[in-house]
Amino acid sequence: MVVVCVAGVLSGCTSTRIVSTGSVRTGIQLGAVPAPLPLDVLVVADNQQHNVLGGKLRSMSWWTERFVTSVAVRSPAVNLWSHHVLERFVEDARTDGLKLVLHLGDATDIACSGEFDVFVRSMQRATGNSIPWLMAPGNHDSALAGNINSYISKPPEQAFSDAYGDENFSWSGACATPDGKSEALTKELLVRAYRRGLEAQGITFTPAPPDTLKDDAENCALWVGRAADATSPLGRMEFQAVHRDCTRVGDAQDGYSGNVKAFIAQRLKLPGEATALLIDSSDTGLARATPYGFLVRNPALNGDVSDAQREAIRYLLGPQGNSAPLVVFAHSPWAEMKEGARDFLMEVGAMAFFSAHTHLRSSVLLHRTGHAERGLLELNVGSIVDWPIQALRASFALPRDAKGASPLHVQWRALGSLEGDQQPAWMARCISDRTHHRGAETYQRYLHADDPLGPLQRTVWTAEQVLLEAAPTPVVQPSAGIVTNVTARWRQMAELSARIDRLEALMSTDANARDYAVCQAYWAAEATRFEASVGERARAKGPASHLASEVSSAVLTPVTLPSPAAPVPPR
């Protein structure tokens, strides 16, 4: 989710200058790749899996939607079935030469462990455990609603009281589920969960060698990950990662957590031989709210790479630095990265930068960086669940010229609903067959109803009538040992959870049921597309850019050009 810059004063936002198309001085030429390349890398982002069973949050309000971003609150159909849209994007790409999936963060919405579990299962199903997938964390993956990562731990009983009682505005409460299996996804829990996803793909982690990679931070330890089998897909890509694992400091019941220092940085060789670096741009330190409501170090507005992560990146690139053209993948857009982080990435040789976060139309931006007037190509990919529902297919190649230099050829194709996009097969079906379309007014966001539970229940009941022929509701029993004071609201949520589980079981085996789910999510995003956020309006006034559907390739020359000579003073 993007949070608006208000006159650039409170947000810490920065600006960049745009390089003219085809500029020789910057080494960037758009539309110059002479022949088609295999689009074997899929780039997706911002599916924002949402826990529908927890308590309310103040950030999910009319004020936030109107004055900050229109994606703070979504339709129940999107929140229920966005993971099926993610799976369809990946599955469609698998049939067409896919070799790698890169997710650029915000896999979760509130930042709950249960949300991330759904995301990982979706990636494993969609890739068939045969296509490797990697992730660069986003601000929503370890900060409450993408903004605050200070956390006070609470026992399950208190979390349930927060979620289903009167005081229901906490991170714990928003992540609660009737089965007690979901909790707040703080930074160290996120990186550990993602590490388990890497280990399931054959990556083995060992303690970092202290002679070349040191970490003096209290309660933190560095681990290095590599493929156990050099012939595996990630082994052939020479994948490496550095995981900084940090534990909570102080009294977990009363104090802020020190786990925000955790991060993961990853390096691999892309199909086509270019080097890829996946950075953790949510490495911003403690982000908390002051007594007056202002946010300190809001990760939604201040993408960063800590000093410790910079050292890890240098380690991954090797003692001699990186010799191949470097493509950086991150969640935060270039203009929302802090200046020191941008300078560092240029120093280590970044030539192209793939980002997400904005939830706007996938676009191509050219930046002049100030590093000997070198240019940087940025491709910002839209959300796969918010309109216009987009992803990118990309390829990278290093054809050598007669002088032995290796320009980087980048080619891409926008996938989605816009004119000029390649329309996925599942999306074409939703557009052509609207048998189960319920009318645009029924897909509105939660906040258009007095009780947010009502639209959610009606969406589930309608799905039951269509897919299960109004099967009887199962008997739901409270989970033993989790809740001591079961409220009427908890019983409602437990019953709803059972209904959703039953629908998901059907969708896992019935193609028609899955088609129903993805089309409901598509139609819900379509119905609310007219509500442009303040962030989108601010972006429209910013630097000029190209839509990714309008320009489809670029040639990047890896030459550090000298700064322009100083003018000769008049005599």
Q: What is the DSSP string of 33-50?
A: --S-----EEEE----B-
What counts of helices (H) and strands (E) characterise the chain? 14, 20
Q: Which pLDDT value is given to residue 79?
A: 93
pTM (whole model) above 0.85: yes
CA atoms of 424 and 416, how far apart (whole Å): 7
The three-state secondary structure class of 226 is strand
Instruction: Please state the φ and ψ torsions of residue 516, each to the nearest 5 degrees.
Output: -60, -45
Instruction: Please state the φ and ψ torsions of residue 221, each to the nearest 5 degrees.
Output: -145, 145
Mean pLDDT of 238-263: 74
Band (pLDDT 50/70/90 cuts) for residue 35 is confident
26, burial (CB in 10 Å: exposed 0-12, middle 13-18, buried 19+): buried
Tally of CB atoms within 10 A around 434: 10
Band (pLDDT 50/70/90 cuts) for residue 284 is confident
205, burial (CB in 10 Å: exposed 0-12, middle 13-18, buried 19+): middle
CA atoms of 64 and 56, how far apart (whole Å): 14
Mean pLDDT of 261-280: 94
CA atoms of 340 and 514, how far apart (whole Å): 45
Of 124-138, 216-230, 232-246, 432-446, least confident by mean pLDDT is: 432-446
Closest among 188, 189, 198, 220 to 207, alpha carbons compared: 220
CA atoms of 365 and 265, how far apart (whole Å): 24
Tally of CB atoms within 10 A around 97: 12
Q: Which residues contact 76 (CB under 8 A, 6 or more apart)?
A: 52, 446, 455, 456, 458, 459, 460, 524
Q: Which pLDDT value is given to residue 538?
A: 41
* Choice between 488 and 82, residue whose per-residue pLDDT is larger: 82
Q: Which pLDDT value is given to residue 172?
A: 81
Q: Is the dihedral of CA 434, 439, 445, 450 positive or negative?
A: negative
Beta pairing partners, 275: 269, 326
CA atoms of 193 and 107, how far apart (whole Å): 12
Cβ–Cβ under 8 Å, residues 53 and 177: yes
Q: Which pLDDT value is given to residue 67?
A: 64
| CA 555 to the chain's CA centroid | 27
Mean pLDDT of 432-453: 77
* Choice between 273 and 148, residue whose per-residue pLDDT is larger: 273
Q: Tokens 């009780």 label which residue?
A: 451
DSSP alpha helix (H) spans, 487-546: 488-507, 511-527, 534-540
- For strand 326-329 and strand 275-278, is the pairing parallel, antiparallel, or unpaired? parallel
Q: Over the stretch 529-552, which tens digit does the pLDDT of each residue have?
A: 744 443 444 444 345 468 888 889
CA atoms of 112 and 79, how far apart (whole Å): 14
Q: Which pLDDT value is given to residue 456?
A: 86
CA atoms of 25 and 22, how far apart (whole Å): 9
Cβ–Cβ under 8 Å, residues 183 and 112: yes
486, burial (CB in 10 Å: exposed 0-12, middle 13-18, buried 19+): middle
| CA 284 to the chain's CA centroid | 16
With b meaning 16 or more CB within 10 Å and e meaning fewer, what string describes 544-565?
Answer: ebbbbbebbbbbbbbeeeeeee
pLDDT mean across residues, the chain: 80
Helix pair 76-94, 113-127: axis angle to 10 deg = 30
Band (pLDDT 50/70/90 cuts) for residue 258 is low
Q: Which pLDDT value is given to residue 7?
A: 23
Q: Which pLDDT value is given to residue 293?
A: 47
